[in-house]
Structure 1
């Protein structure tokens, strides 16, 4: 009698992630850290963000095989420890990327674009919303 459950042949597997997906993971992970007010992009990104929500803003990724490097640009909360915030960003992004993709993060760099108090941040965002609602 033939074997009813033949041994399956070995399947070649390949799982890939677009840069946009990796940037989105890093963006969400970084924004979840207390003291990170926002990730910021350049002038073109800021202009585009007036019209659409950009979940990859302020994050650039470079991939090589199973290693991933990120460059982030952020506005941090004034009065909080930037080195401590950065350590939390590194740990959170590294863990999130590994958990969701299986890839190792080998480098994360952060450029602090601005420091703002929470009151300044809220005022700035309120002003942006008011300008967008006037259009």
Structure 2
């Protein structure tokens, strides 16, 4: 029993600090949101779209404000047409809050979802195949 108390005392005397970059927090939110049925894409603004042509950006469409351990996320998304956006949003909020808490120990204070578009799965797939053809054409020029 004395050893246990000593070990606890030693652990308590160590100052601990665990920090996460905004990119890590954004990545957790992005990957979590992408796993929700009804979320077709998270998309950023024009500058984000420009840089994404050259690099794979796993945090596209997600911004975090990390102020005094109060985390606020803002997401821009394309949702699937015909599916209930409020229910999708509730799943996004609950899943992101749970994932962030499990992986970082931090509490999420606010999540904002801006829906930029609604598309059917067929429209989404057609747009994606068109985008990849456009990218291939630009790379061969």
TM class, shorter-length: over 0.9
From 12, 15, 30, the equivalent of 2:15 is 12
Unaligned runs of 5+ in 1: none
Deviation, 1:53, is 1.2
Alpha-carbon distance in structure 1 between the residues aligned to 2:31 and 2:81 = 21
Q: Which has the higher helix share?
A: 2
> What is the deviation of 1:132?
1.1
Shift, 1:64, TM fit: 2.3
- Find the aligned partners of 1:102 and 1:49 in 2 and give their Cα distance: 30
Matches within 5 A, 1:1-135: 8=10, 10-134=13-137, 135=139
Q: Which runs of no fewer than 5 residues in structure 2 stay unpaired?
A: none
Task: After superposition, give the CA deviation of every residue in 1:42-100 in whole Å (9 maximum; x if it has no partner).
Answer: 01111111121111110110112332110111000000000000000001000000000
Aligned equivalents of 1:51 and 1:36: distance in 2?
Answer: 24
TM-score normalised by the chain length of structure 2: 0.89
> CA shift at 1:133, angstroms?
1.3
| Secondary structure, counterpart of 2:56 in structure 1 | coil
* Cα RMSD for the two superposed structures: 1.6
Equivalent pairs, count: 132
Q: Secondary structure at the match of 2:28?
A: helix
State TM-score, norm by structure 1: 0.92
Distance in 1 between residues matched to 2:111 and 2:71, nearest whole Å = 9
Which of structure 1's runs of 4+ aligned residues deviate more than 3 A? none
